[in-house]
A and B are shown apart, each in its own frame.
Chain A
Amino acid sequence: MPTEEQPGAATVLVVEDDPDVAYLLEYMLCRDGYQVLLCRDGKQAAAQIERIEPPALALLDIMLPYKDGFELVTLIRSKSEWNQVPIVVLTSKSLERDIVRALDAGASDYVVKPFQPGELMARLRRYLRGTKG
């Protein structure tokens, strides 16, 4: 973890299998005052989604081992208590059909890689406003 746990801080679920990108996302979110729950693959993420309280936001990569981001979006939206959780997907593909598929499954927004960290954080802050705890 880039920083120590912050009691009372809002939690962001991050699902990213690339360790370099995962570290960057975790660092930027912790720096902004959020607690990060990081999952490295779709199976781990699905287990956490069944177990934890809904976070303030879910940031999901699309291409993941075991379960991809589309399946996770569908899983999250199938849980009534997670219905209000904003979901932002990170996709390497700028193909229209993947973006449409993610949004149709229930994602709130998307960011295409390569991304600008500042732009990504601005998009996330839009959904996280008022949730810092």
Chain B
Amino acid sequence: MGGAASEGVVIAAYQTGLGVVAISLLLLAEVFVLRAFFAAREERRRRVLDEWRPLFVQAMVEMPDRVPAAPRRDAATLLGLFNHYHQTLRGDATESLNRFGRAAGLDEAALALLRHKSLSSRMIATAALGHFRERRAWDDLLRLAQGSYPALSLAAARSLMQIDAGDALPALLPLIMARGDWPAARVAVILTQAGPDAISQPLADAAIQAPPAIAARLVRYLAAAHHDVAARALRQILATTEDEQLIASCLHILNDPRDLEMARRYLHHSSWHVRLQAASALGRMGAPADTEGLVGLLSDPEWWVRLRAAQALAGLPFLSTGELRSLQASQPDENARAVLEHAIMERRPA
């Protein structure tokens, strides 16, 4: 019996070993197959780009008499090239790119790729449809903008703005206000690229009507709006709000010299964020009379306020480096002298 049992153990071990070897061989085979697959795919991609790159470039100079149809199998590769040239170039060349792309059927390919299961393919198609300004993609792009993938939704928002900013902004403003997963810098780029004519009034109206926490975000985007529209909105908000975050956001982009008096009022606000932005505003717009107010902030209890006040002083065009040095020497507070030294060293040579 002992012999039978040990023989069973040996057989079990042998079979387990065989199984492990078989699995290992299968995994190895899978690695080789995948490597071969990806190498072949990359080789095809390279060949397609080598074949089509000259056609794209020639079309930017002169549209060829015959444009080959883009193979559907290579749609993602070719749309990637299309997008890349759009990102690199501007002006007439992009219009030529669009004419060529439509002639090759890339617009239809992009519409089809929008529903692809691959996220990267949908990203490429989304960007391309924005460059094409393809109105047929509107509903699909709107659905994507409302979707859960932040990068894809933002790309869809951008494309909608490229297609028709006037129609897109009312649909996107609620998303801009609600989506905390859309980086502010990216939203700002989209709005800036749409141009002040398209965004100024709707953005200003939304900022005025929104609750303070959301308005504080929207106000920052007013930097891309027409100056007079933004200035009117900022004055209206500052006249009525006591929310510190919103006040600081308004002061951050305040840029109209007629609002200098309004900025001065916040130099001694209880919130250091507000004092900091007030100092920045005076640095941008300040008159010689504001030197004293900024010097006063050099002794602020908050380091960031002291630094910003020093930087604002160093940035004033009517103060030479020699005058700043005299100011520095006259400060009884060691912190004030130190932070001015920092700001003077940052200053470009006069």
- A interface residues (Cβ-Cβ under 8 A, vs B): 2, 18-21, 23-24, 27-28, 31, 113-119
Distance, CA A4 to CA B87, complexed state (A): 29
B89 pairs with A20, CB closer than 8 A: no
Known: A20-B88, A116-B89, A118-B92. 7 other contacts (CB 8 A): A2-B54, A2-B57, A20-B81, A24-B88, A27-B57, A115-B90, A119-B91
Are A114 and B90 touching (Cβ within 8 A)? Answer: yes
Cα distance A117–B90 in the bound complex, in angstroms: 8
B85 touches A20 (CB 8 A): yes
* Distance to closest chain A CB from B344 (angstroms): 18
Contact with A along B55-68 (1 / 0, CB 8 A): 00110110000000
Contact of A114 with B88 in the complex, beta carbons under 8 Å: yes
Q: Which residue of B lies closest to A27 (CB)?
A: B57
17 A–B pairs (Cβ distance < 8 Å), ordered by A:
A18-B88, A19-B49, A21-B88, A23-B53, A24-B60, A24-B85, A27-B54, A27-B61, A28-B61, A31-B61, A113-B88, A115-B89, A116-B91, A116-B92, A117-B89, A118-B91, A118-B92
Residue of A nearest to B80 (CB): A20
Range, interface on chain B: 10 to 19
Measured between C-beta atoms, what is the minimum distance from B306 to chain A in Å?
Answer: 25
The docked-state distance in angstroms from the alpha carbon of A29 to that of B275 is 55
Chain A residues near B49: list those with CB within 8 A: 19-20
- Flag if B84 contacts A20 (CB, 8 Å): yes
- Which B79-113 residues sit within 8 Å CB-CB of chain A? 81, 84-85, 87-93
Main secondary structure of the interface of B (DSSP, over half): helix
Among A19, A23, A31, A114, contact of B89 (Cβ-Cβ < 8 Å): A114
Which B residues are closer than 8 A to A by beta carbons? 49, 53-54, 57-58, 60-61, 81, 84-85, 87-93
Contacts of B91 in A (CB 8 A): 116, 118-119
Total number of A-B contacts with CB less than 8 angstroms? 45
Cβ–Cβ < 8 Å partners of B81 in chain A: 20
B50, chain A: closest CB distance, angstroms: 9
Q: Which residue of A lies closest to B87 (CB)?
A: A114
- Residues of A close to B87: CB separation below 8 A: 114
Option from A20, A116, A117, A119 in Cβ contact (under 8 Å) with B53: A20
Residues of B within 8 A of A2 (CB): 54, 57
* Residue numbers in A under 8 Å from B89 (CB-CB): 114-117
In whole angstroms, how far apart are the Cα atoms of A18 and B88 in the complex?
A: 10
Whole-angstrom distance from the CB of B160 to the nearest CB of chain A? 21
When chains A and B are docked, how far (Å) is the Cα of A23 from the Cα of B58? 11
For the complex, what is the distance from the CA of A19 to the CA of B88, rounded to whole Å?
A: 12
Instruction: List chain B residues, Cβ under 8 A from A24.
Output: 57, 60, 85, 88
Contacting pair A117 B54 (CB below 8 A): no
Query: Nearest Cβ in chain B — how far from A117, in angstroms?
Result: 5
Residues of B within 8 A of A18 (CB): 88
- Chain B nearest CB from A28 CB (Å) reads 8
Minimal beta-carbon separation of B347 from chain A (angstroms): 14
Contact partners of B88 in chain A: CB under 8 A: 18, 20-21, 24, 113-115
The residue on B at minimum CB distance from A18 is B88
Bound CA–CA A117/B96 (angstroms): 12
Q: Which residues of A contact B54 (CB under 8 A)?
A: 2, 23, 27
Instruction: Report the nearest B residue to A120, measured CB to CB.
Output: B89
CB < 8 Å neighbour of A116 from B57, B84, B90: B90
B61: nearest residue on chain A (CB-CB)?
A: A31
A-chain residues with CB within 8 Å of residue B60 when the two chains form the complex: 24, 117
Question: Closest CB-CB distance, B260 to chain A, in whole Å?
Answer: 25
